[in-house]
Amino acid sequence: MTMNQTAPKIEEQDNTPPLSLPPIINPITQAFLDQEQQTVFDLVDAFGSPMNLIFPQVIDQNIKAFKEVYKKNNLAGQIYFTSKPNKSLSIMRQVSMNDVNIDVSSEGALKTVLGCGFNPSRIECTGPKNLEYLSLAVQQGVTINADNLTELKQAVDIRRSLGLKEKLRVFVRLSGFNSPRVKFTSQDGTFGIHVKDAPQIFEFLKAHQDDLDFQGFAYYWSSASEEQRIVALENALELTFAAIEHGLNPKGLNIGGGFHIQYAADRNQWLRYIDTVKESLLEFDEQLTWNNNGLGFRNEGGLIKGAANYVDHFMPRTGADDFDQVMNLPLPSFDGMSAAQIISDSLLELYIEPGRSLLDQLGVTVGRVNFSKPSVNGETLVALDMNRSNMHSTHQKLLTDPVVLYKDKARCRPCPEGVYYVGNLCVSYDIITYNKTFPTLLPEPGDLVVFANTAPYIMDFIESNTLHQNTGQKVTITQEDDRFRWFTDEKYKPVIQKYLKGETA
C-alpha cells in the first residue's frame, strides 16, 4: 500500500453477546436431549404438543441428599414428599420405592397415592379439608395435618362415629409467627392456627388425648427470609416445649418445605440478565420484556421502581444445602443454639415436607412451533402449540432460555432480534414468555422448544382445557444400562420394572 492509497475502512462489529440466561439441566436430561433428539420428535408426533418429559429417577438423588442432612445433624424423623406441585403418577410411584412418606392435599390426591403403593402409615393429609376428604383420611388412618380447630373436632367426631380403636395421628399447623426482635411487614394468610390461640389448642388436645396421637406442631413458610425462618423455628419450638409442660407428648416438629432450587446455570449471567432488563426500561429503542412490562419493575421519571414478579433463579444455597443451612441457623431465643442441636438433644423428631426441591430437575415441557410472525410493534413472535396454562405457575415466572430442537437448521435464518413465545389460545394475552429470548436461529414450524425444570409447580399446576385445547401428555424417560426407555406416565411402574430385572433388596 503506497502513501497515496487510502486504508480500507474496517467496519466495527458489535460482538456483545445477546442477552442470555441458559438453564441448568440435569445430566440425564441433557444426555437424552442430545442423544435422542429424533425420539423427542417422534414422541411429540405420537402424543401431541405440549408434551411433558418426566425423569423420575432424578428424585432418588434428591431424596438421598436430604437424608444426608438428617444423618449429618444426627436427626431422627421423616421426609414427607409434597406431591401437589406435580400430578405425575410415575413420580409418585418412584417416590414409593424410597424410604420416605408422602403429603397430599385433596381427596383425589389421597386416592391416587394409595393406588401408587403408599401404605396409609406413610401418608399425611394437609390443606383445607371437606368432610369427604377428612372422612377418608380418618378411615384410612393416615396422619392428618390440621389446618384449624374445626377440622380437629370433625376428625374426632368421625373417629368416634366409626368406633375406631386406633388414635388419629395429627399435626397442628401454626401461623402468625412474631418476635419482639424484628417487625415483619403485615401480610395476611389463610393457612394454620395463629400462635396466639395456643391455649385453645392445648385445651383441645388435652381433652381428646384418647382420640388423638399428637405428632407435633407444623408450619410452612415458603417465601421466608432468613430472619423469618429463625422466628418461625423459635415460635414452633417454644410452643413444642410449652405443650410438654401442659402434659402433652409431641413427637417432634414439622417445619414444612420451601427450600430453594436453582434455575439458571450461572449466577453472573443471572445478575447481568436482571440488570440489563432494568436498564432496558430506561431506553426506548430496545424492549426486553413484552410491552415493556419490566417483570414487575417500571420507569418512573428516570428511576426504576417496583418489585420483582419472579423468583431468584440462582440462590446461594439450594435443596438439601438450603435445608442444612436452615437447621443450623443460630436461634437467639435459645442462646444461639441451632434447631438441629435443640431437636436432637431433646430427643424430638424432625419432619419436613419438601416438594419443589425434591422435584428439581425432574421434568421439561416441550412445545411444537406452529408459526412465527411480527407483532403489531414489530417484535418477532414464535407461536407454539401450547398455551400459558401449560407452562405457568400462580406465583413465579420462568425466565431461563428454552432449548430449541431444530428439524433442519439449513431452513432457519439467524435471529439477532430475539423472540417472544406465544400460545395457541384465541385471546390476546396468551403470552408464554414475557421476557425476550435470543435463539441462534429463528425456530420454524415443526421445530420443538424445550423449557427446562418445569416439573415443580409449572408444567401442570394450573393447566386447563380452555377453548378445548389439549393439556400436556406426560411421557416418562428412564436410563438403564446406558440406554434410554420411555413409558406413558400411567404405565411406568418401578416395582414391576425391578421385578422383571430380577433385582432384590
- Ordered structural domains, the chain, with CATH: 27-55+361-498 (2.40.37.10), 58-260+314-352 (3.20.20.10), 267-306 (no CATH)
Q: What is the mean pLDDT of the chain?
A: 93
**pLDDT at position 493 over 70:** yes
**How many residues are there in the chain?**
505
> Residue 122's pLDDT band (boundaries 50, 70, 90)?
very high
pTM, two decimals, is 0.93
What lies within 8 Å, CB to CB, of 501 at 6+ separation is none
Distance between CA 35 and CA 479 in Å, rounded?
Answer: 12
Q: What confidence tens digit (pLDDT) does each residue in 307-324 have?
A: 888 889 999 999 999 999
By the 10 Å C-beta count (0-12 exposed, 13-18 middle, 19+ buried), 18 is classed as: middle
Chain centre distance of CA 394: 11
Are 405 and 33 in contact, with CB atoms under 8 Å apart?
Answer: yes
Are 174 and 192 in contact, with CB atoms under 8 Å apart?
Answer: yes
Are 432 and 423 in contact, with CB atoms under 8 Å apart?
Answer: yes
Q: What confidence tens digit (pLDDT) does each residue in 410-448 have?
A: 999 999 999 999 999 999 999 999 999 999 999 999 999
Are 120 and 114 in contact, with CB atoms under 8 Å apart?
Answer: yes
